[in-house]
Amino acid sequence: MNSIAITTLLADDEDALRTFFDTARRPDIARAARDLAEAHRAAAAALEPAVLIARAFQAGQSTDGLLGALRHAASQVHEAASLSRDEIRALKEFTAQHREKHSEALRQSSSAMLGLEASAIPRLEKRIARYEADRKEHRERLIEAGIHSSDVDRAGLIRPRPEDRDEWIAEFDAARARVERLRAFSASGPLYDASHLLDGDLHQVV
């Protein structure tokens, strides 16, 4: 990939862009790229003028041509660095533009995740955890109210009911799955792939 790789990619069609960004988000790919960038920095930091002069001599450079060769090599490095900075700037601008384009959906996604994780999911967890204790307390209250224990058990008066717990567990699982979909959408920038979401995922959680 040459020094204008990012600029070329950003001008490509959306399918190619999605493939690129999906690939760049892969943990193994991202880690390998970070390692390579760090290796380049380490190699640059380790360079000494005497080493560069020795390399030029080994390449068959004459004494008279050495100064020009070193200056030309430095110019190429500066140009490559400038192109890299331009590409980084272009990528940041592209990312910012698309974040702004999807700002409302991202706001809704963040709000929904907050509502689910801070309110809905803990509330369901508490209901599920207290199911047996709440049934026991309700049974005791019914008996204290004068209903015979056998009638309480036989008539199915005790609340919450087993089907209530089943419903809470289903709601809990659905809420956790919804959070994962919202996270996947929010992490799919800068193009933000709405195919991660189901209808209603961005609705406010009350």
Residue 91: inside a domain: yes
**Which domain-ending residue is among 101, 123, 139?**
101
Residue 205: inside a domain: no
Do residues 70 and 110 share a domain? no
Band the pLDDT of 4: cuts 50, 70, 90.
low
Residue 206: inside a domain: no
Do residues 9 and 97 share a domain? yes
- 87, 7 Cβ separation under 8 angstroms: yes
Band the pLDDT of 1: cuts 50, 70, 90.
very low
**Which domain-ending residue is among 84, 101, 118?**
101
Residues 78-89: pLDDT tens digits?
999 999 899 999
* Parent domain of 85: 5-101
Do residues 48 and 113 share a domain? no
Do residues 154 and 127 share a domain? yes
Residue 178 pLDDT greater than 90, yes or no: yes
What DSSP letter does each residue of the chain carry, written as one string?
A: --TTHHHHHHTS-HHHHHHHHHHHH-HHHHHHHHHHHHHHHHHHHH--HHHHHHHHHHTT--HHHHHHHHHHHHHHHHHHHHHHHHHHHHHHHHHHHHHHHTHHHHHHHHHHHHHIIIIIHHHHHHHHHTHHHHHHHHHHHHHHTT--HHHHHHHT--SS-HHHHHHHHHHHHHHHHHHHHHHHHHTTTTT--GGG--TTTTSPP-
List the structure tokens of 141. Answer: 């209250």
Residue 202: inside a domain: no
Do residues 44 and 111 share a domain? no
Do residues 96 and 15 share a domain? yes
Domains: count for the chain: 2
**Which domain-ending residue is among 46, 67, 101?**
101
Least confident window among 47-51, 98-102, 170-174: 47-51
Do residues 67 and 108 share a domain? no
Task: Compare 169 and 11 and report the one with higher pLDDT.
Answer: 169
Residue 60: inside a domain: yes
- Which residue in this structure is represented by tokens 């331009």? 86
